Amino acid sequence: MMIIRKSVTDNELPSENKAATSERFLSSQEIQSLVQERHSGIFSQVEGLSMDHFLLASTKAICERYKIHFANLSTIQRKFVTHYRCGQCGLLPLYHLDLLHIKRVRCRKCGQLIAFKKKGKYGKLRKEIAFELMKENHGDVMLADQ
C-alpha cells in the first residue's frame, strides 16, 4: 500500500490567499532578520570571539593580576572561578548573569535572584570577571564600586 500526500498549500488555498500568505511569510522573515541583528545573545560575535572565549580571556587576565596561575588550577577550581550557582538552573557560566542592578543580580535563564558576593575562595575573582564581561559586552559601562 502506497500513501501519497498532497501539498496542503496547493489544494486548499485559493490563488489570492497564496499571495497574501507569501507576503506574510516575507514580512516574518524580515522581522526575524531585524531581531537577529539587534539581539546580542549569549553567543554573539564581538570582534570574532564568542562569550566563552571572552570568559576565558578575562579570567586569565584577572588571575594574572592577582598572581594566580590559571593553567595550574584544577578543573573544578576553574569551574568555580568561571561559573555561578543558580537555585533552579544549576551551575552556569558568568555570562548568564543579569547585572543591571548591582545589588540584585539575577539569572538570565530563569530570572531568580542570585547571592553574588565576594565571599569564598574565588568570590572576589568571580565578581570581577562578571563585571569585566559586562563591560566587554555592553561597551564601557560605568559601574559603582561595592
Q: Are the CB atoms for 112 and 86 separated by under 8 Å?
A: yes
Report whether 135 contacts 62 (CB < 8 A). no
**Cα separation of 63 and 144, whole Å?**
22
Which amino acid, residue 14? P
In angstroms, the CA 31 to CA 29 distance is 5
pTM for the structure as a whole: 0.58
pLDDT per residue of the chain (146 residues) written in tens, 0 to 9: 556 655 444 454 455 555 444 444 545 555 555 444 434 444 444 455 688 888 999 999 999 999 999 999 999 999 999 998 888 989 889 988 888 887 888 988 888 998 877 788 888 899 899 888 888 776 544 444 44
Q: Residue 113's beta-bridge partner residues? A: 106
d(CA 102, CA 131): 10
Three-state SS for 75?
A: helix
